[in-house]
Amino acid sequence: MVALATVPSLSPDGSATGGHWPREAGMVGPLALASFAAERRERDDGTTILALSGELDLRTVSRLEDELSHDDPPVSLVIVDLSQLEFIDSSGLHALLATHRRLQRSGGRLVIVRGSPQVQRVLEITGLDRLFEIVEEPPPATPNSGNTIAPRGAT
């Protein structure tokens, strides 16, 4: 089955087209060319911060999973900053949920920095906004403390 792109796109040879062209396996268009980046920072207090940007989907999720698997030695706090993320699909949600569960089993925490309205809507629809600890911005590092965020519900 061949689907037609409904947005102005690039033809398979890279030239611009003004209309539709078939999106078969191996062909690319603007939706397939979206970028993804994961910038990893380690703080002195043992916290790992991953700042994500672009689109997190089935095509790019392995890069996030690679970044999340670098925890050697294990960390107690992982902050994933979604503020620059434009899109997330179920594979991205699964990676975040798996990280949340892994950290919980080892006594750690996953904290999510609020994403764009589109990303937040996906979290709300799936109910993950009630499961994940979501903050407005990454908290500052606290000297000599591996836990830099007040627990959920604390004032």
In a domain? residue 72: yes
| 66 and 52 inside one domain | yes
CA dist., res. 22 & res. 96, Å (int): 33
Q: Report the domain count for the chain.
A: 2
CA dist., res. 115 & res. 85, Å (int): 6
Instruction: Give the residue among 153, 154, 118, 120 at the shortest CA–CA distance from 136.
Output: 120
CA angle 124, 49, 60 (to 5 degrees): 65
pTM above 0.75, yes or no: no
| 20 and 78 inside one domain | no
- Tens of pLDDT, residue by residue over 21-76, are 343 444 444 444 569 999 999 888 889 999 999 999 999 999 999 998 876 667 88
CA dist., res. 23 & res. 31, Å (int): 10
| 23 and 76 inside one domain | no
| 65 and 54 inside one domain | yes
Domain carrying residue 121: 36-135
